Structure 1
């Protein structure tokens, strides 16, 4: 137990990762389903998605929230590439895009073998510039977070986009609904959330971990890393000590590198995603249903060279 009402401590190591006096702050409320937070240190702002409202929102310390882009093509997950450009997953157009420095949009991927992708969901960029993204069916299940349509791909995949050729390759296809992605700090492991239980209660609600090949072009040895005991895993991040922080129905769950549940940050709304940000990368930004929250931690988000 903890004297701080925002923490649920399962392992003493969790106390070293959180600030005992920190409070969970609600920074904004007014979304239908908040997702995809990404921090821009050079600009001092956070971007995040409000998927059903077709908006990408921007939060600035002391300046509140404004609309960054609307319509957003039902954008979901975001990240930054090695040049600092915004990379986004769009349910509406079933594609992955990059926003150039001048504001123009480049389509990185929207089809494979002449068939449309399902609905790209979450995205990470490796240090070699390759773009990895998950492609579940959420954005085509109904007209709420995209446009209802049939699946054209035979499987729901984790994809790798080659930074040189632009070609797509299937890295994993063993998840019912592949969702959040995160590399370990040394990029030797890839974590993939399987949120299949969102629409099938007996389906997986776990996080898989894969070994990444030395050349970064293949995955192997999938294992169940952790299971979420409340709700499903969605977005995830890794800190500098290799702990994994995952979204869940009751907040943010923190797991050791061995998959031991260390503790939880309790959030009053279902959490979809999270990211470390702020000037020192020790502020955890959390998108949860209608709201954007933040809380300071005693650890920092992982940096990759």
Structure 2
């Protein structure tokens, strides 16, 4: 397992992390096996959110950490907050960056995770009604109390980062964004500069270049999905050229095609971190192996083209 700094936090985290969104579906024994598999692979960073399975994912993960006898200081735990769900239906009814909501949500996560602090807390999705003074007060209280050590955002564009950063004293260290061979928009636009075709449309405000300039780590979620949760591209007959190229390169490196898909993201010099969500220990091990693969520039570009992209 390779490791890299997360933003400017001083934390050296595993290049791949385990996202535990679906761990609530597993039994206690299965959850412990999943966490232990991640630890054995060298993963030291774990991601959750207060809204995953109504908080049950964080609770199951917290128990699994205890069952695996993991020393708290040996791992990094990240949660996300700022989404309000109707307590009866579970439906999302608003995004909420108010001080009261954020502090209450974080306290609930600490209880579920069975820990006194989280290493990172991320604002889960942008709240256009954010009161910046309330956000600053919440961050200060959470940091000064020792409950949160570092902060970041998720699914936020550069101008939104600038707005939030203007209000808070804490450096926003990470931005969690969908990225992978099935979701390449962030790099498509970088190639189609000064053009008028569809890939030239800048949907994200130059997120990759901005993140590199600001030393902000991109955490790539759903690295094997295409579209917005439309399905995985691995082994999917809709993507014959991509899977053919993945299999060819995987055979050369003697790893799985999923490891190569991970390695493709990590090859980018932006020093991204990949969030793995598999709840199958064998698959998790196969995917994590991608952190040790260094693709050549030609392999990276070959996969990008095989995924259906072009070079103008």
Q: Going by fraction, where is strand more abundant, 1 or 2?
A: 1
Which of the two has higher C-alpha Rg? 2
